[in-house]
Chains A and B, each alone.
Chain A
Amino acid sequence: MINRRNFLKAGGTVVACSILGARNVLGAEDFEGNPERFGMLTDTTRCIGCRRCEAACNKANALPSPKTSFEDTSVFKKERRPYVADVQSYTAVNRYMDEDGKPVYRKVQCMHCDEPACVSACPVAALTKSNEGPVVWNDKLCIGCRYCITACPFYVPAFEYSSAFQPKIQKCFMCRQRIKDGLLPACAEACPVEAIQFGKRRDLLKMAKQRVWSHPDKYIDHVYGETEVGGTDWLYVSKVPFEKLGFPSNIGTTSLPKLTKDFLSMVNLTLISFPALLGGFYLASNKSPHRETENKQIEEDLKHE
């Protein structure tokens, strides 16, 4: 027979396990964007490839001095990513050719997603989506796991592999401090042709759509960033298809954190159901002490019969 003491002991273990387990209840958060958040709009039809945005970024963020001058156009021979170690800036301008052989320039930097994969990836919440819009990084929390880099669909965050003691995650922070001080982000301020504009995302989106609709000959009918990976705060308009300008085209419109949310919601289910299930198996198994006494009882009963 199950005696009360053993039953409580086994049952207690089961309950204790589920409580201990439930301590780290998890769940992906929904990022509910601030409707007043800021954004940027890059018009690739206006950009002249002067690289002044790169120089301004370098200066505003006190980054190491460039290997060759920011006026050097030979860098366009290679498609560059905005990795500080390579370009000494949080942004890089790349040159592509359109069908007529005319150059089209595209500035690359962090897209400041509305629901950023990097933020959901960070195990210590060192990366956050700020209320103003920029995705920012906290030096005091980062453990250097680089899951943010794995997660980013745009290949943006960079890690300081050359630093042993304080390796940083480096990417564009939309000059958050300058925004707070009432200034424009450095690149937008430096742009001589208004190819980079700063403002509230919803205003910029309207502006972008207006341009696309009023000049169908000049723009393709797509504002990149409006819906990509759930929407980004950095928007682009262009004359040539975006995949020809090095934009990833296979990323879809679902926000990436949603992809792990279902899995994380399984956690609670497992933590709560497993102890009961396995505790039950144990009580039913022949190894269980209760079961042994029970078996003996049955044997004795059989003998009597």
Chain B
Amino acid sequence: MNEYSNEYMESHVFLKNEQTGAEIISTWLKDKIFLGLPFKEYMKTLVTPINIVAGLIVFAGLTLIAMRFIYGLEEVTEASNEQPWGLFLTWGLFTGVPFSASGFVIGTGVYIFGLKRYQPVVKNAILLGFLGYLFAVIFLMIDLGRPWRIYYPMFVSFGTASVMFLVAWHVALYLSVQFFEFCPSLLAWLDQKYLRKIAVSMTLGLTIFGVMLSTLHQSALSAMFLLAPGKVHPLWYTSYLPWLAFISAIGAAMALMIVVSKLTVIFFKERASPEYLAGIDDITIGLGKASSFVLFTYLGLRLISITHEGAWKYLNTPTGHWFLVEITLFAILPFLYYYGVLRKNVGLIQITGVLTMIGIILNRFNLTLITFNYQLPSRELFFWKEALVVLSVVVIEILVYRWIVNRMPVLHQHPNYAGDSH
């Protein structure tokens, strides 16, 4: 007797006759990768002016990165023994990571506090957070002298007194957490029902773990500079640095969500569900309200910290004037948000979101690059090659984001899992 039932044999043979392995793969590729188009047509859609420009930038950047790995950091950076960190870390780590708090800020709101109103943007927030961390690690890999040892703080040797050790651990753990948090969307795309169920069941644990890790390493990124009181300008140096970093990261994350939500409405309209598109205005107003509150807190703590450190006397110096530019911007932002919310002016809130992003970028650049080593007579800030590498990595990040949003259910619910909040 045959050990298989007839039915099984029939269905098996039937399937085999219908599709060969190669056909299954090509259908899968067509569905999942080529957006339902035949390969040739898909390739044709890729030839657009924007893609060509992006391609050229990426090519130039990758060439420079290759040179960095062949000839050493000297080849592409302005880094010196006085100013060992340049644009790679200032942009990629110290500026990129605060914005990547989006995953934990919106995730906590939706999954822990039950703020259902923000559910439409939660997957996008997690994706942005995940990519932010992933690319922070990529920037770190470019900047580390011996990147092949990046796992050493985790497995080989422990410098437990180092804030950098804390950052290394938490960024590594949080990158994994964000990946798992994004898994429901990824697995819906791959039609893995069972695995997706497991991923969804982990949400609460991952979210709580994510909040702990974020609280600690967002603050740790600025706490790293506590060790250099003689190098950080007194108007920025304060023992509150960690908490200022944490609070401003929440502001940064909300600003990013406000701005990116608007951009998705413009550029990814056909990938977004009607509920998503309809909800953005309401979500923007909600985020604007929260941002106003967060930035008031930030401003207050910032001003108190300067008084606490007795640093106002540095105000009438060239660096002090530069500081005024930054602090004035931060002083206006919460009022702009508040006014926007009061008038239900979504456009104004979105513009304030852009301004907030500029403010946070300025703040992190000032702390880690522009005013760092303020006592040294002359300092080179960065080299054009460094800027080009940063630009190309940012372009790659945007391309990866676009690739994912075009394929996975980020801005809409996957039809098979409608009604589920993940």
Using CB atoms and an 8 Å cutoff, list the residues of chain A in contact with chain B. Answer: 10, 13-14, 16-17, 20-21, 24, 26-29, 81, 83, 117, 119-126, 141-147, 149-151, 153, 155, 157-164, 166-167, 248, 250-252, 256-257, 259-264, 266-267, 270-271, 274-275, 278-279, 281-282, 285-288
Contact = CB atoms under 8 A, between A and B. Distances in A.
Interface in B312-352: none
Contact of B70 (A146, A159, A164, A252): A164
Contacts of A120: 159, 161-162, 227
A158 to B, nearest CB: 4
Contacts of A142: 145-146, 149
Nearest to A157: B81
B209 interface: yes
B369 to A, nearest CB: 12
B72 A167 contact: yes
Nearest to A151: B227
A146 B158 contact: no
In order of increasing CB-CB distance, the 9 nearest A-B pairs are: A144-B145, A287-B114, A285-B114, A146-B84, A161-B74, A123-B165, A149-B84, A123-B164, A167-B145
B212 A21 contact: yes
B355 interface: no
Given A29-B160, A153-B231, A270-B215, 10 more contacts: A121-B159, A125-B157, A141-B156, A144-B149, A153-B228, A153-B230, A159-B73, A160-B145, A251-B230, A282-B114
A20 B71 contact: no
Given A10-B204, A123-B162, A264-B166, A83 B81 contact: yes
B81 A162 contact: no
A287 B117 CA distance: 12
Contacts of A159: 73, 79, 81, 84, 145
A28 B227 CA distance: 12
Interface of B: 68-74, 77, 79-82, 84-85, 108, 111-114, 116, 144-147, 149-150, 152-153, 156-169, 204-205, 207-209, 211-213, 215-216, 219-220, 223-231, 239, 242, 375
B212 A275 contact: yes
B149 A161 contact: no
A144 to B, nearest CB: 2
Nearest to A168: B145
Given A29-B160, A264-B161, A164 B72 contact: yes
Contacts of A260: 161, 163, 223-224, 226-227
B230 A270 contact: no
6 contacts: A14-B208, A147-B162, A159-B79, A161-B72, A162-B74, A167-B73
B114 A144 contact: no
B130 to A, nearest CB: 19
Nearest to A282: B112
Given A13-B208, A161-B73, A267-B166, A250 B230 contact: yes
B227 A21 contact: no
Contacts of A28: 160-161
A123 B223 contact: no
A147 B152 contact: no
A164 B226 contact: no
A17 B159 CA distance: 23
Contacts of A279: 208
A6 to B, nearest CB: 11
Contacts of B375: 250
A17 B74 contact: no
Contacts of B167: 123
B81 A81 contact: yes
Contact of A281 (B113, B149, B168, B239): B113
Given A141-B157, A270-B216, A257 B227 contact: yes
A144 B144 CA distance: 5
Given A83-B81, A150-B228, A259-B226, A145 B156 contact: no
